[in-house]
Structure 1
Amino acid sequence: MIQLHDADLKLLRVFAAIVKCGGFSAAQAALNIGQSTISEQMTQLEARLGVKLCQRGRSGFRLTEQGAAIHDATLRLLSAVDTFCMDADVLKQNISGTLNLGIIDTTITDPDSPLPVTTQRFVSRGHDVHLNVYVGTPAELEERVLDGRLHLAIGHFPTQVPGLSHALLYQEALGLYCGRRHPLYGSKAGPKALLEAIGSSRIVARGFMLQHDLELLGASKAAATVDNIEALAILIISGAYLGFLPRHYAAHWEESGDMRPLLPERLCPTAPFDVITRRGLAPPPILQAFLEDLAASSRQATRS
């Protein structure tokens, strides 16, 4: 059995940084060391572990099968080490360490999001903390919370995944949008005729809300599927598709006339924004502090 030492943890952190950056050259700036040093350290790590971790050369950087497995284990180990350090800091009456937070894309324009106020409240506590923020799809965020790479994630999570706890933050308002070049953009049809036309149009659906989107429109299938809101907006602006967008995100294009909502008085669903954490584990102090600030910010937003 391999006995890990401080030097091994340092080498594993270098390995994780290389994979995150996509290769030795790209990792130089992140690690602030030269490529020859990085190559030497990777050779040392491979010797310690007894496996080939990656292929590098003119063909580019690629993890071996063993390297991919070691990388997953490395991320779990480093997350556990960070959590241990945070727990140990309680003994000093000081909350410090790294908080790994996940969010879905395009939330910056959402006035109902408590995240900006929460971040300001959390930082003003004076904690010696480092925020590590990851933007991903709902499925990616769920996976990373489950395996410990993220302490929590905020977004749309329509499926109750075993092992995760869900807490509702607020409801996000949506609208059905079409682009300027779409045939229905200037339609004067009544609600019934417009609904029929919408049902027979090409629909772009959010992969994580596929059936929900189709059921709202009475459509049998999606003509396109996306896993993030920016891709959805691109297809709508093209004029070839109709799809649901957050009202706050579409406001810019609505003002410019590049998009318009269809039947906003009828097609105005909301989607729950949840915070998810891993079930069954006592939250480390840094996570508990952030969750407390998140709850306080949500209550403040509700009152205002």
Structure 2
Amino acid sequence: MVQLQDVDLKLLRVFMHVVRCGGFSAAQASLNVSQSTISEQMTTLETRLGLKLCERGRSGFRLTEHGIATYEAAQRLQVAVEAFCMDTDALKQHIAGRLYLGIIDNTVTDSTALLPQTLKKFVSRGHDVHVDVYIGTPAELEERVLDGRLHVAIGHFPIHVPGLNYFDLYLEPDGLYCGKGHALFDAALDGDVPQEALAASRIVARGYYQQHDLKMLSASKAAATVDNVEAQAILILSGAYIGFLPTHYAAHWVERGEMRQIGPGRYGMQSPFCAATRKATAPPAILNVFMTDLHESFLDRRPDTAAAGRSETRRAPPRR
């Protein structure tokens, strides 16, 4: 077992910085040290850990399998160290440190999300905090919350993972769309699109809602699969595919006449947005404060847009 010392923590910080920058030369300016010094520090870290972490040379910088695993472990260690600092700060009635927040992609156009309002309230408390935001797929976000790299993630989580708590926030409506040039583009304007025409079209499905998307269209398979909304929109705009998009996200192209919604009110659903946190006996103080602000932001929303409760989903905790 490796016994970590202060020098190891410092070397791990250098290692993480090099990985984020993509190599030694890119990291030397921000670290304010020479490339040879960084190389020496990396060699020392590899020696102390007994692992080869990266390949470097004319072919460029590349992490080994051990390097990838060490980087992920170092991220978890960093979160744990910062959580310790935040917990001790809380004893002094002071909240400080980093909040690691994960968000599903392309929610910025959704006026009902209220995340900007939550963040404004959170930082206006005057706390000495730094918000670190990661954008990812639902599965990526859940994985990072589970292993401690994120404190909380916000998005669609169709399958609830053991080890996580889910808190209802709101419902996001989506619809079925085709792009200009698609065979159904004119029919969508008339509102008369036969089910057989939909099933015969090339369908782009969302990976985390694939079975739902195919079932809605009575189709047996998808012609394309994506893991984010932007990729979905690109394929729909090509005029070769039909697929589901959040209505707030598609509105821009609908207004420009580049997309049309097929069968409004008939195809689509209200997708629940949740906040996911790891089950823990003592969550970090900074997370408790953020969840309180998040909960209060959604209590202030209009009743007609509030999310419907689900028996397996918990509500955000009240202010302590």
Q: Same fold (TM over 0.5)?
A: yes
Letter aligned with residue 253 of structure 1: W
Structure 1 pair 300–33 and aligned structure 2 pair: CA distance change class (3 A): farther
Could you tell me which residue of structure 2 aligns to residue 200 of structure 1?
Answer: 200
Give 1:189 deviation, angstroms. Answer: 9.0
Q: Does 1:164 align with 2:157?
A: no
Structure 1 pair 214–94 and aligned structure 2 pair: CA distance change class (3 A): same
Q: Deviations over 1:70-100 (max 9, x none)?
A: 2222122111111111111112110000100
Taking only the aligned residue pairs, the percentage that are identical comes to 62
Greater alpha carbon shift after TM alignment, 85-94 vs 186-195: 186-195
Cα distance in 1, alignment partners of residues 285 and 59 from structure 2? 45
Q: Does 1:100 align with 2:107?
A: no
Could you tell me which residue of structure 2 aligns to residue 287 of structure 1?
Answer: 287
Give 1:147 deviation, angstroms. Answer: 0.2
Q: Within 5 A, what are the aligned runs for 1:72-87?
A: 72-87=72-87
Give 1:23 deviation, angstroms. Answer: 1.9
- Structure 1 stretches of 4+ moved >3 Å: 28-34, 188-193
Give 3-state SS (helix, strand or coil) of 1:181's partner: coil
Give 1:193 deviation, angstroms. Answer: 4.7
Could you tell me which residue of structure 1 aligns to residue 131 of structure 2?
Answer: 131
Could you tell me which residue of structure 1 aligns to residue 264 of structure 2?
Answer: 264
Could you tell me which residue of structure 2 aligns to residue 214 of structure 1?
Answer: 214
Structure 1 pair 261–31 and aligned structure 2 pair: CA distance change class (3 A): farther
Q: Within 5 A, what are the aligned runs for 1:177-192?
A: 177-187=177-187
Give 1:66 deviation, angstroms. Answer: 2.3
Give 1:247 deviation, angstroms. Answer: 0.6
Could you tell me which residue of structure 2 aligns to residue 109 of structure 1?
Answer: 109
Letter aligned with residue 51 of structure 1: L
Q: What are the ranges of 5 or more consecutive residues in structure 2 without an aligned counterpart? A: 305-320
- TM superposition score normalised by structure 2: 0.90
Structure 1 pair 32–68 and aligned structure 2 pair: CA distance change class (3 A): same
Give 1:194 deviation, angstroms. Answer: 2.5
Q: Does 1:89 align with 2:89?
A: yes
Structure 1 pair 155–188 and aligned structure 2 pair: CA distance change class (3 A): closer
Cα distance in 2, alignment partners of residues 90 and 189 from structure 1? 58
Structure 1 pair 193–186 and aligned structure 2 pair: CA distance change class (3 A): closer
Contact 2:170-2:272 at 8 Å conserved across structures? yes
Structure 1 pair 268–148 and aligned structure 2 pair: CA distance change class (3 A): same
Give 1:191 deviation, angstroms. Answer: 6.1
Cα distance in 2, alignment partners of residues 35 and 173 from structure 1? 51
Could you tell me which residue of structure 1 aligns to residue 239 of structure 2?
Answer: 239
Q: Deviations over 1:209-235 (max 9, x none)?
A: 110111111111111000000000000
Structure 1 pair 41–189 and aligned structure 2 pair: CA distance change class (3 A): closer
Q: Deviations over 1:109-140 (max 9, x none)?
A: 00110210000000010110010000011111
Could you tell me which residue of structure 1 aligns to residue 252 of structure 2?
Answer: 252
Cα distance in 2, alignment partners of residues 146 and 234 from structure 1? 31
Q: Does 1:144 align with 2:131?
A: no
Could you tell me which residue of structure 2 aligns to residue 122 of structure 1?
Answer: 122
- The alignment's C-alpha RMSD in Å is 1.7
Structure 1 pair 156–31 and aligned structure 2 pair: CA distance change class (3 A): farther
Contact 2:137-2:227 at 8 Å conserved across structures? yes
Give 1:282 deviation, angstroms. Answer: 2.0
Give 3-state SS (helix, strand or coil) of 1:111's partner: coil
Structure 1 pair 189–124 and aligned structure 2 pair: CA distance change class (3 A): closer
